[in-house]
């Protein structure tokens, strides 16, 4: 089986080269890296040259970009990876083995925040626990799914926020998620810049609002405010 890693990017020139260099071992083991740019105003696209198998352009929007990458992918399993999230060293083996050995068709990793505060350990632990209890994954947890199953649910909904929650709900109807205990490391920058507790409260408010039917177009304005 082959893995296609799909990375949506926008104005990432300061970090994308190092990030993609850290993923070259996946290409060397027969997997595919696809970078989908959402109309960057900087040199992001130039920085990806030679470091991915396919470089695509798309309208801005994480859902749109990830769908574009999935449409161009040749792998049996799709892995959707944020450009500020680092994979564990055995990521491809863990994903492909778990998919092959299970009747489940999708999953995610546990997450660890990059910051050193003890509070970040608690935040990540609660994120992982919540995901196990609810069967809902977030983009920070590096969602992976069989390519045929992704097509079956018609990909990500074209919404500006909560696209990961929406597709998790669709995928749950087919199977429960594989919850890998290996950890991806995702940036804690938002928590550090906006304040840990303030960010926690905001995230929970947005999730509850979405659960009760508030339009993601309204939620995205609150998120980026």
Q: What is the pLDDT of residues 103-125, one digit of tens each?
A: 999 999 999 999 888 988 999 99
Structural domain includes residue 210: no
C-alpha span between 27 and 7 (Å, rounded): 14
Residue 42 lies inside a defined structural domain of this protein: yes
The CATH number assigned to the domain holding 38 equals 3.90.550.10
What radius of gyration do the chain's Cα atoms show? 17
Q: Which of 34, 31, 33 is nearest to 76 (CA)?
A: 31
Is residue 180 included in any domain, yes or no?
A: yes
Whether residue 136 lies inside any domain: the answer is yes
Question: Tell me, what's the pLDDT at 215?
Answer: 72
21 located within any domain = yes
Are the beta carbons of 81 and 5 closer than 8 angstroms? Answer: yes
pLDDT tens digits, residue range 128-172? 999 999 999 999 999 999 999 999 999 999 998 899 999 999 999
**What does the pLDDT read at residue 195?**
79
Q: According to the model, what pLDDT value does residue 196 have?
A: 74
Judge residue 126's burial from the number of C-beta atoms within 10 Å of its C-beta, 0-12 exposed, 13-18 middle, 19 or more buried: exposed
Domain residues for the domain of 41 are: 3-187
Please check whether residue 34 lies inside any domain of the structure: yes
> Whole-angstrom Cα distance, residue 193 to residue 150?
34
Total structural domains within the chain: 1
201 assigned to some structural domain: no
- Is residue 216 a part of any domain in this protein? no
**pLDDT tier at 200, thresholds 50, 70, 90:** confident
User: Which pLDDT value is given to residue 25?
Assistant: 95
DSSP state of 205: H
């Amino acid at each position: 089986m082959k893995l296609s890693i799909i990375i949506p990017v926008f104005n990432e020139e300061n970090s994308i080269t190092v990030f993609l260099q850290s993923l070259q071992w996946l290409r060397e083991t027969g997997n595919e890296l696809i970078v989908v740019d959402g109309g960057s105003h900087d040199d992001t696209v130039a920085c990806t040259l030679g470091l991915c198998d396919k470089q695509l352009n798309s309208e801005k929007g994480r859902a749109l970009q990830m769908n574009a990458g999935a449409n161009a992918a040749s792998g049996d399993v799709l892995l959707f990876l944020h450009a500020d999230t680092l994979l564990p060293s055995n990521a491809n083996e863990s994903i492909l083995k778990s998919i092959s050995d299970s009747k489940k068709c999708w999953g995610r990793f546990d997450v660890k925040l990059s910051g050193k505060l003890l509070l970040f350990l608690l935040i990540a632990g609660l994120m992982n626990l919540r995901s196990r209890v609810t069967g809902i994954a977030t983009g920070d947890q590096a969602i992976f799914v069989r390519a045929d199953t992704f097509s079956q649910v018609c990909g990500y909904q074209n919404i500006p926020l909560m696209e990961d929650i929406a597709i998790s709900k669709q995928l749950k109807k087919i199977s429960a998620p594989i919850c890998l205990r290996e950890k991806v490391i995702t940036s804690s920058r938002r928590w550090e810049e906006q304040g840990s507790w303030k960010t926690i409260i905001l995230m929970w408010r947005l999730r509850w609002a979405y659960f009760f039917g508030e339009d993601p177009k309204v939620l995205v304005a609150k998120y980026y405010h």
